[in-house]
A and B are shown apart, each in its own frame.
Chain A
Amino acid sequence: EPEVTQTPSHQVTQMGQEVILRCVPISNHLYFYWYRQILGQKVEFLVSFYNNEISEKSEIFDDQFSVERPDGSNFTLKIRSTKLEDSAMYFCASFRDRGVNTEAFFGQGTRLTVV
C-alpha cells in the first residue's frame, strides 16, 4: 500500500538554527499539507500546497516557515530560526484531490526537538 514517508524521524536542533523537514507524498496525490502536533495536544493545520504554491495557511505559519516542492517528489517544510516552542511532531499529509472522497494520508511524522 502506498504511503507518505517523512525524514528524518527525529531532529534535534539548537534554538536559532534552520531545519528542513522532508516528505515524499503518495505519487498520484495532488494536495499536500503540513500539520503540527505539540506533545499531548491536537493536530494543528499549518499549510496546504497545490500546483506548486501555497493554497491556504494558518496563523501558525508565519514568516519563519516556508514550504517547497523542489523536484516534483519531495515536499519540504523549512523553519528558518527555530524557537523552543517549535518543538513538536510535524506530520506531512497528502490528499488525492479536493473532491468528496478525500482521506488524508499522514506520514509517520518528524519529531523536532529544539534545545
Chain B
Amino acid sequence: GENVEQHPSTLSVQEGDSAVIKCTYSDSASNYFPWYKQELGKRPQLIIDIRSNVGEKKDQRIAVTLNKTAKHFSLHITETQPEDSAVYFCAAPLSSGNTPLVFGKGTRLSVIA
C-alpha cells in the first residue's frame, strides 16, 4: 500500500514570501496527487491536484510540481497572505487507481502579517 511522508510539519513565513511543502510517496504506480487545505475546525478542501502525465500545474498563486522518478511532489504558494494560514495535506492513492486517498501528516502553515 501507499506510504506518504510530508514535511515540514510546521512552517512560518512572512506575508508576501513563498512557502514550499514537500511530500514523498512509495508506490510508483500512483498517478494522482492532490493537495487539501484544512482551516481550523473545517473540512479538508481540494486546492490543487496533479496527475502523473504532467510535471507542473499552476493555479494563480498555487503550483504543484511532480517528480515521478524521485517519487515526490511539492506545493508552492507564492505571495502568501494571512488567509493562507491553515493545515495543508498532500495525498496519494492507496493502491493503483485514484481512490481511496492516503494523506500525509499535514503541514501547519502560519503566515505572519
Which DSSP category, helix, strand, loop or mixed, fits chain A's interface?
A: loop
Which of A13-21, A69-77, A79-87, A95-103 lines the interface with chain B? A95-103
From 19 to 69 in chain A, residues with beta carbon under 8 angstroms from any chain B beta carbon are 31, 33, 35, 41-45, 48, 56
Query: How many A-B contacts if CB must be within 8 Å?
Result: 59
Chain A interface (Cβ < 8 Å from any Cβ of B): 31, 33, 35, 41-45, 48, 56, 91, 95, 98-100, 102-104, 106-109
| A45 and B94 contact, CB distance less than 8 A | yes
Interface size class of B (residues with CB under 8 A): 20 to 34
Q: Which of A44, A100, A104, A109 has the most CB of B within 10 A?
A: A104
Can you list 22 contacts pairing A with B, beta carbon distance less than 8 Å? A33-B99, A35-B103, A41-B106, A42-B89, A42-B106, A43-B44, A43-B103, A43-B106, A48-B99, A48-B100, A95-B99, A98-B98, A98-B99, A100-B32, A100-B98, A102-B32, A103-B34, A103-B46, A103-B49, A104-B34, A106-B43, A109-B43
Please list the residues of chain B having a beta carbon within 8 angstroms of any beta carbon in chain A.
31-32, 34, 36, 38, 42-46, 49, 51, 89, 94-95, 97-106
Q: Quick one: closest B residue to A103, CB to CB?
A: B46
Residues of B within 8 A of A95 (CB): 98-99
CB distance from A90 to the nearest CB of B (A): 11
Closest to B2 in A: A45
Min Cβ gap B30→A in Å is 13
**Residues A108 and B105 in contact in the complex (CB < 8 Å), given A56-B100, A100-B98, A103-B49:** no
